[in-house]
Amino acid sequence: MLLREALDRPQLRLTLLTGESGLDRPISRVYVTDLPDPRRYLSGGEIVLTGLMWRRRAGDSDGFVAACAAAGVAAIGAGDAAYGSVPEDLVTACRRYGVPLFEVPVEVSFRDIIDEVTPTLWARRANGLATVLGRYRGLVAAMAGGARLADLIQPVAADLGVDCWVLTATGRAVAGTGELPSDARRRLAASFLAAGRLPTVVEVDGRRVWLVAVAGRPEHRLAAWLLACAARDAEPSEHEVAARPAAAGPGTDTGRSPDAGGSSDTGRSSDAGRSSDAGRSTDAGRSPDAGRSPDAGRSTDAGRSRLAGRSSDAGRSSGAGRSMDAGRAAIGESGPPPGLPEAAAELVSLVALERAHADEAGRVERRLADQLGTVLSTGASPAELRAALSACGLPPRSTLLVAAVRLTGLTTPPELAVAVTEELARSTALPAVVTGAGRPGTVLAVLAGGRTELAEVCKAIRGTVAGLAPGLGAGRLAVGIGGPAADPGGLPGAVEQAEHALATADADPGPGTVVSAGDLASHLLLLSGVPAEARRAFRDRVLGPVLAYDRTHDSDLLHTLDEFLACSGSWSRAAERLHLHVNTLRYRIGRIEQLTGRDLSRFPDRVDCYLALRLPH
């Protein structure tokens, strides 16, 4: 039901005061309130009826309307009982924020409006539900017949009037209604991982994108897919965009109203047309409660996708790839555009079918992969390794790389590390086998690639690990990369290299660290084999007094020492890099020598300090 239809009911005698351009907004429900900031009770698309009890002075109107605009309401209806007419400051505020405003005469009660609008909303919702059920049966039949998500998502999204993309937590595209630049995908994935609760709205270049989790196995956000939906509607006004980032305010939704047009039943709403999921949220990694009473009768206007479409405007002076407008995606607290949660709920059911299919296929592949893991852990012959690789579908004559992965600090099932490693392997675009068998706490990915691809593999995995960092929380993700191995006989050596690199990555305190065997200088490789307790003792013995001095005096001697050694003991170059006078640098180095008992003009003492600096805190 559109706003225009509600205002055209002659028996209600409603008068539009401003906002003619919004008459074609769909209505989700009717909500009655006198809270000064009702945002927390709004989910988008409401007709908000108010008796203006919140208004104490003219300036109050701006705050109330801003809150309603941020929540994406369809319109505000103001009763006449309190002031005899609608205050001009309220009209001005609604015009400023682009919110339609209509006057409710004193002889018309809010109950009259609810009773008039509710039956129409319910009837259309019932018709929409029938359409949804029919569509869902068709989707199940199509997927049973071999159709996949990539084949079905475009026609379904067009029917619902939305643009949508299905991504993994790393930003890898699974399916969508159009191409999405890699930067845009990474930003959506980062917002998904960083969100406190899901679903959530992400502000993207003034356009609201609804992010929903589609859980799989295991149930964790790092292993989930995300569904990003954006309505194919007109550009929002600049005042709507300005209003949206405002934070939701506190308040209680209580009170009652007499059955009169000028007063309101604070906090009451009609249930008709209520969005089933708009106000719901889910914990990290869990799929939202989708699919209840979706409104399939929405407009099917297949407008051009601004997220995907702008990326093709390469000839514009502002630059190509404006999709997501780099750096401007931010998680918001405002509600989604009307109807978007219902459309997303339908799409979630489709995406969940594809995810279930992918999880089942993955279980079959893992059984074969675990056979390779077992063979690797038992010292098998090259012939046995070649046979195991062939059984997993890897070319037996290809050059092999190995990634050893360890995920710690999360109270999650071991399968999560396997799922994360699979995403790391997919980011390389190389044929790969992932196994968690044979090495407790460590997952191996064997990749079929060449020697020239090692640098590209390391770069891809580093980028993916960095992208997953917002979802790690207190966890740590360490990756060691070994190889290349020219043939299956060299695979155990590549695994050993990867495990040495993993030991070094484990020693790094950061949330996500990737180290390749090529990154390990000879001394780092040796240090990775030294027990952690011995490494800590050596660092404390050499640098402990310097660290204590820095803490006590708020000085920077440790950094000075690091730069001095990096410049091979050159006073002039080190002073230039540190932006110090040479005499000041000499004073600092002298203090360091006093604290450590070492003479930094001697090579052995420099080596001690250099090695201690390379050890983790």
Helical H segments across 276-414, by residue range: 306-309, 340-377, 382-391
Residue 401: strand pairing partners: 447
Predicted pLDDT at 157: 73
Question: How confident is the model over 214-238, as a mean pLDDT?
Answer: 75
User: In the predicted model, what is the mean pLDDT of the chain?
Assistant: 76
From 549, 435, 570, 538, select the one nearest 495 (Cα to Cα): 435
> Per-residue confidence at 422, pLDDT binned at 50, 70, 90?
very high
Among the residue ranges 81-95, 445-459, 571-585, 587-601, the one predicted with the least confidence is 445-459
Among the residue ranges 98-107, 236-245, 593-602, the one predicted with the least confidence is 236-245
Predicted pLDDT at 197: 81
Question: How confident is the model over 406-421, as a mean pLDDT?
Answer: 86
Contact 308, 209 (CB under 8 A): no
User: Is pLDDT at 294 greater than 80 in this prediction?
Assistant: no
> Per-residue confidence at 385, pLDDT binned at 50, 70, 90?
confident
Predicted pLDDT at 82: 85
Q: State the DSSP code for 300.
A: -
By percentage, how much of the chain surpasses pLDDT 70?
73
> Per-residue confidence at 26, pLDDT binned at 50, 70, 90?
confident
Predicted pLDDT at 206: 66
Among the residue ranges 89-93, 119-123, 494-498, the one predicted with the least confidence is 119-123
Return the number of other C-beta atoms located less than 10 Å from residue 233's C-beta: 19
The CA–CA distances, whole Å, from 52 to 37, 82, 83, 369, 428 equal 12, 7, 9, 66, 59
Rounded CA separation 418/194 (Å): 22
Predicted pLDDT at 182: 83
> Per-residue confidence at 309, pLDDT binned at 50, 70, 90?
very low
Return the number of other C-beta atoms located less than 10 Å from residue 493's C-beta: 14
User: Is pLDDT at 455 greater than 90 in this prediction?
Assistant: no
User: Is pLDDT at 495 greater than 60 in this prediction?
Assistant: yes
Length of the chain: 617
- Three-class SS of 52-120: CCCCCCCCHHHHHHHHHHHHCCCEEEEECCCCCCCCHHHHHHHHHHCCCEEEECCCCCHHHHHHHHHHH
Predicted pLDDT at 314: 31
Task: Specify burial of residue 484 (Cβ count, 10 A radius: 0-12, 13-18, 19+).
Answer: buried
- Cis amide leading into 616 (omega within 30): no
Write down the pTM of the prediction.
0.54
In the chain the domains, ranked by start, together with CATH numbers, are 143-245+277-355 (no CATH), 378-525 (3.30.70.270), 532-614 (1.10.10.2840)
Rounded CA separation 492/290 (Å): 47
Question: How confident is the model over 417-435, as a mean pLDDT?
Answer: 91
CA 192 to chain centre: 2
Rounded CA separation 444/431 (Å): 14
Question: How confident is the model over 36-42, as a mean pLDDT?
Answer: 89
Contact 564, 589 (CB under 8 A): yes
Among the residue ranges 32-46, 167-181, 329-343, 437-451, the one predicted with the least confidence is 329-343
